[in-house]
Structure formats: C-alpha cells, structure tokens
Copies of this chain bind each other. A is one copy, B any other.
C-alpha cells in the first residue's frame, strides 16, 4: 500500500479516536452534578430519559423502514447496472455493496450523533449551573463528537470501499472502479433523504403543535413540562437538526469526493496518490479542526458567539495552508483531462474558490438572518402593521438573500471551471466542505444547547441556568444559519460536480450518443426537461410543507385532547402522555417521507429510461438552478422570521405579548417548515438525483431513451 492510503487511514482513525475521547469525557460527567435537591435530580433524569428514549424510538423505527429500502434498492442496483464493456464483471453487485456500505455508515453517523446529543444535553444543563465556560465546553465537545466521528467515518468508509474493490477487482479499469465507488455516495445520500425529510417533518410537527396549543391557546411558556408535545419537540431538535443535518453533510462529503474520483479517474488511472487526493482533502480537515477546537476558549458570556465564528475562520485559514501543501505533494504539476491540460496550482485555486465561496455564503447568511443587521429588523418592524406585512417582508428578505450566495456559487463555478474544468468544480465543492468538521461541530452544538435550555426549563433549574443555556442557544442559532448556508452552497457545487461526472461517464460509455454535444440549450429534449427539472423543487417543497401541516394538525388535536381529558394537567397534578405525542410525530414522519422519496428516486430513472441521458441532464440542471435558489430563500426567510420574533421578545417594538409579537409569531411558525423541512430537504433533492443518475449511467447508456428511440429522434 502506498503512503497516501496509510495517511488517509491514519487521519480517519484520528477522527474516530478524537470523537471517542470527547464522547467518553462527556459521558463521564455525572448527570446530577448541579442539582439542588433529590426531587430535581429525579425530574432531570426523567425528562432526559424521555427525550433519549423518544429519539431512539424514532430512529429505531425509521431504521426498520430504511433497512427494507436499502436491501430492496441494492437488489435493483445489482440487476440494472452492468457495464457492457466488461462482460466478465457484474458491476451491479459491487455497486450494491458500496451502496450498502454508504447506507450503513450514514445510519451509524446518525445514530452516534443522536446518542451523543442526548448524552450531552442534560450535562450542559448541569454544567450551566457552575458557569458559561463549562457549559460551552460540554456542548462544544458534544458537537465535536459528531464532527470528528462523521468525517472520520466518511474518510475511512471511502478508503475501505476502495481497498475492498481493488482487492476483488484488481484488473478493472480505474474509471469503472470509481463509478462503482459512487454507490457509496448514493447510499449515504439516500439515507440522508429520509433522515432530512423524516426528521424535518418530525421536529416541525412537534414544534408547531406544541406552540399553537401550548403557547397560543393555553398561554403557558415554551418548554413547559405541562405541554404534552414538549418532549416530542425536544426529541425533534435531535432528530431533525442533529441526525438530519449530519446525514446531509455526510452525504455531501461522500458525494463530492466520489464526483472528484470519477472525473479524476480519467487522468489519474495509474497515479494512485493523485487519484485519492480528494479523499485526503477531507482527511486533512480532521487534524486541522482538532487544532482549531483546542485553540477555542470561552471565559465570559460575550465570548460565545465570536468563538464559534472564529472557529470557522481559523479552520478555513489553516485549511487553505494545509491543502496547498497537500496539493503540491499529491498532484502532478501538469495533467490532462478530456484533452485539456490543467495544473496542480490551478486545482488549488479551485479548492480556494470553494473555501472562500463557502465563507462568503456563510457570512451573507448571517447578515440576512441575525437581528444584529437591518434586514431582520425590517421584518420585525413590519409586524407593526400585522402578520401580513411581516410575512411579505420575510418572503422578500428570503428572495433577496439568495442573490449574494448564488453569485458566490456562480463565481466559484466560473473560477474552478476555468482552472480545472469539471474536476475543478468537484474540488471546489470539497473546498466548500473544507471546514466540515467544524461546521458539523457547530451544527450539533446548536440543538444540544437548545435541548439543555428546554431541560433547564422543564426541571425548574432556575433563572441563571436558563439564561446561560439561552445564550449558548442564541449563539448557536446564528452559526447554525451560517452552517445551513454552507450546506446549501456545497450541495449545489456537489450536484454540479456529480452532473459533470455523470456526463463524463456517459460519454465514455456511449460515445456514439455524442452526449457532450447534445446537452445543448437548443436541443428540444434538453430544453423540455430543463423546465420539468425547474418545477421539481417547487413540487418537492410543496409536498414537505403540506406534510408538516398535516402532521401538525394531528399533533394539535392530540395536545388539545390531552388538555381536555387529563385531569389536573394545567395545575401540574396530572401527568401528560409525552409518549403519545412522540408516536404521532414518528408515524407522521415515516408516512410522509415516502412520497417525496418516490419523487426523487423515480424522476431521473423514469426520465432516463424513456428519454435518455440528455433529458436526465436537463432535469438535473433545471432542478439544481431553481432548487438552489429556493433552498437559500426558504432557509433564510425562516431564519429571519425566527430572529425577528426573538428581536421583539428581547424587548424591542413592544416586546413579548404585544400585538407585534403575535404577528411575529405567525411569521416564525410559517418559517418553521421553510427553514427546517422544505429548505434543507432541497439540498438532498439536488444532490441525490445527481448521484443516482451517475450510478445508473450504465443502465441509461444501454437501455435509456426507449421512447426517443421509438419515435426516432
């Protein structure tokens, strides 16, 4: 084995070790560290137990469904995919193995993230008793378990599947081998779809249900233990924001690496260290992020938000340096892809354009979603004339906010394309994921802090504790918005790289179809399918938004029923049935994730089978274009409504309980499915349909376009 393989294994293992170390450190903190009385400890344990149990119950049920899906789809893959150029090898079986490995690692990632989140949350509450510094430390380390664990698993998974394939198929062409590896990305992304959509529906059904009946109808505070949906709401934070986001970003990482591998295989068939360079980029992020996290210290309240932001900036700077060295060492000075010569330095510029593009998106996201800036304040002010103007201004803000990120993406695409063609785009998307460990850490930190606050409220830990956890949560909210920006930006670039890989492979497999020339805007099939692609994200958003609405209806009815039928519930003498609410969210999430799943999996396969590869390219690019913009607009509008409400709650423009506040609450509720369900699910839509198409290239090349062949186009 060459040194690059060893390096990747070592760095991946480092990620797992760090994750394990932090997890142990967190779990070793006694739950009862900061309690005042045995009763409080009892409450703490019971609430924490209910959240952990609910989260695991959902995951276990979801995984049952996913296991069936995984096996069924693996069978489909093994039957439909076979490269006609290698009659003695059935690529389908190996692709199916890659796919299952991708699925499993994604499932493990979600499980680990959820586990650590439910271990950390209660310990952050306890730590908050003794001070902000300690509480921040616990929350951050909890998040770091997710960050290091997930990237470690991704890197190790990629190299392991490579080694397995190489061992079983030593003679196979490198570029076919890389395509088989793409099954790994497909597996990761497929699980991410269900995690995102299911988790998003779960969390928002609980949130909307808890708020509308508890806060609005019964007038009890948020996170009040009398509210039957309150546990479901806290479970939802873990299910949606930890497991969902983790699976999403794991998918992005696996997919953009696979895209780079497939495109690079044309040039680096015999140059292993250049071939595996994309995996090394992600691997290098592990020690860099460790260094960054070790540098961060929070002493006072005001340090929290800057600390999180500085982590992103520092790790970006360190990555920029490290990847320069890695690129120089691993890539040849000059190389050729599809007849064009590129340089190692050019590839580095691609990486940098992605890295800087990602930061730009993140910082713009902050401008549009934090109430430190005028945009969110405008939305808050628009509440003066009622909910309608609040909604209009929020939607307008969302639309506006998509301009700068899309320009940043466009510039990254242009620069990376100019420097290294489609390979460059794939590297740029890895650049945008350059701070993945840190981004994941911060993303998981957010819901942990949020949950800690909920637990503090529910167990009556006192004002001081609640204030500290609120502060941690608020800082996490802003950085979570930044993280969402990254996630969408990298999804767009990843999807683009995958489309490029798809076309590159298709061109190799079916040279007689002249694929590269036929993806012309003036081709009727391409043009038509661009339109159909452009409408898909809207359809998908509509489906997930309505699912949240329907699930919320169920939840509202149940919560109302409990308030009506359980004696003494409002007085605190009756006990709410938390489990029933968790069940409702679980059932709804599992039921409602099926239709969007069929849409995403069905469309490219169906279109490709009937109309062939150029039509698939049109679908992919069309949905990438409108989906990217819609995803950013949805996420930012949702974030802005949330923070406009918080701005008013902090005492501006009338404060809590005023008419303005009521109007802002409407905006926040509208924003919930936007920012936590439909918006983030669009990431998956655009990536998943692209990698699915890439994996099914051999199928399309052999059997695709039957309709167009029949009518002789």
Contacts and interface: CB of A to CB of B under 8 A. Distances in A.
Interface of A: 208, 212, 216, 382, 385-389, 391-393, 395-400, 402-403, 406-407, 409-411, 413-414, 417-418, 422, 496, 500, 503, 516-517, 519-522, 524-535, 538-539, 541-543, 545-546, 548-549, 552-553, 556, 617-618, 621-622, 625-626, 628-629, 633, 665-667, 669-670, 673, 713
A22 B519 CA distance: 52
A713 to B, nearest CB: 7
A626 B524 contact: no
A633 B538 contact: yes
Nearest to A389: B549
Contacts of A530: 621, 625
Contacts of A629: 534-535, 538, 626
Contact of A535 (B407, B525, B534, B617): B407
A570 to B, nearest CB: 20
A673 B392 contact: yes
A630 to B, nearest CB: 8
B670 A414 contact: no
Given A392-B545, A417-B524, A535-B629, A216 B403 contact: no
B522 A406 contact: no
Q: Which of A402, A417, A528 has the most CB of B within 10 A?
A: A528
Contacts of A548: 392
Contacts of A626: 534, 625-626, 629
A521 B521 contact: yes
Given A212-B386, A406-B531, 8 more contacts: A216-B386, A392-B669, A393-B545, A406-B532, A414-B525, A516-B522, A517-B517, A538-B629
A527 B417 contact: yes
A407 B670 contact: no
B538 A403 contact: yes
B666 A391 contact: yes
A406 to B, nearest CB: 4
B399 A545 contact: yes
B414 A528 contact: yes
Given A407-B535, A626-B625, A396 B546 contact: yes
A539 B667 CA distance: 21
Contacts of A393: 545-546, 549
Q: Which of A406, A521, A546 has the most CB of B within 10 A?
A: A521
Contacts of A535: 402-403, 406-407, 629
12 contacts: A387-B387, A388-B667, A388-B669, A389-B552, A393-B546, A400-B538, A410-B528, A410-B532, A413-B528, A516-B520, A517-B520, A622-B625
A522 B417 CA distance: 9
A536 to B, nearest CB: 9
B524 A418 contact: yes
Number of copies: 2
Nearest to A617: B521
A3 to B, nearest CB: 35
Q: Which of A531, A533, A713 has the most CB of B within 10 A?
A: A531
B402 A556 contact: no
A409 B531 contact: yes
A667 B391 CA distance: 9
Nearest to A622: B625
Q: Which of A397, A407, A548, A549 has the most CB of B within 10 A?
A: A549
Nearest to A381: B553
B403 A524 contact: no
Nearest to A414: B528
B621 A521 contact: yes
Contacts of A669: 386, 388-389, 392
Contacts of A546: 392-393, 396, 400
A534 B395 contact: no
B666 A527 contact: no
Q: Which of A398, A414, A519, A538 has the most CB of B within 10 A?
A: A538
A541 B399 CA distance: 7
Contacts of A406: 531-532, 534-535
A693 B367 CA distance: 34
A142 to B, nearest CB: 32
A611 to B, nearest CB: 10
Q: Which of A500, A522, A625, A669 has the most CB of B within 10 A?
A: A522
Contacts of A402: 535, 538-539
Given A403-B535, A410-B531, A388 B522 contact: no
A350 to B, nearest CB: 12
Nearest to A530: B625
Q: Which of A212, A397, A418, A666 has the most CB of B within 10 A?
A: A666
Nearest to A523: B417
Contact of A628 (B422, B496, B534): B534
Contacts of A391: 391, 666, 670
Contacts of A531: 406, 409-410, 413, 625, 628
Contacts of A389: 208, 549, 552-553, 669
